[in-house]
Amino acid sequence: MTNASGARGTARQAPTHPHPATAGHPTVLTGATVVLPTGSVENGQVTIEGTHITRSAPDNAQVINVPGHYLLPGFVDLHNHGGGGASFTSGSVDDILKGIHTHRLHGTTTLVASTVTGDLDFLARRAGLLSELAEQGDIAGIHFEGPFISPCRKGAHAEDLLRDPDPAEVRKLVDAARGRAKMLTLAAELPGGLDSVRLLAEHGVIAAIGHTDATYEQTVEAIDAGATVATHLFNAMPPLGHRAPGPITALLEDDRITVELINDGTHLHPAALQLAFHHAGARRVAFITDAMDAAGFGDGRYWLGPLEVEVADGVARLVADGTIAGSTLTLDRAFKRSVTVDGLSVEDAVTALSTNPARLLGMDDRIGSLEPGKDADLVLLDADFDLKGVMRRGEWVVPPQLG
User: What is the signed CA dihedral for 363, 368, 371, 372, rounded to 10 degrees?
Assistant: 40
Query: Annotated catalytic, 160?
Result: no
What residues form DSSP beta bridges with 49?
52
Identify the H or E element spanning 181: strand 181-186
Q: Which among 5, 6, 11, 17 is positioned nearest to 397, based on CA atoms?
A: 17
Q: State the alpha helices, DSSP H only, in 136-245.
A: 167-176, 193-202, 216-225
Distance CA 364, CA 375 (A): 10
**Paired sense of beta strands 181-186 and 141-145, if any:** parallel
Quickly count: other Cβ atoms within 10 Å of residue 354's Cβ: 32
**Is-contact 145 115, C-beta < 8 A?**
yes
Identify the H or E element spanning 131: helix 120-135
Sheet holding 307-312, edge to edge: 300-304, 307-312, 315-318
Length reported for the chain: 403
**Is-contact 27 64, C-beta < 8 A?**
yes
Distance CA 306, CA 346 (A): 39
Name residues whose C-beta falls within 8 Å of residue 385's C-beta, 6 or more positions apart in sequence: 70, 335, 336, 339, 340
CA 211 to chain centre: 17
Name residues whose C-beta falls within 8 Å of residue 177's C-beta, 6 or more positions apart in sequence: 127, 128, 130, 131, 141, 142
Q: Which among 106, 77, 154, 71 is positioned nearest to 381, based on CA atoms?
A: 71
**Is-contact 69 80, C-beta < 8 A?**
no
Select which of 77, 213, 264, 290 is catalytic.
Answer: 290
Residues carrying an active site annotation:
290
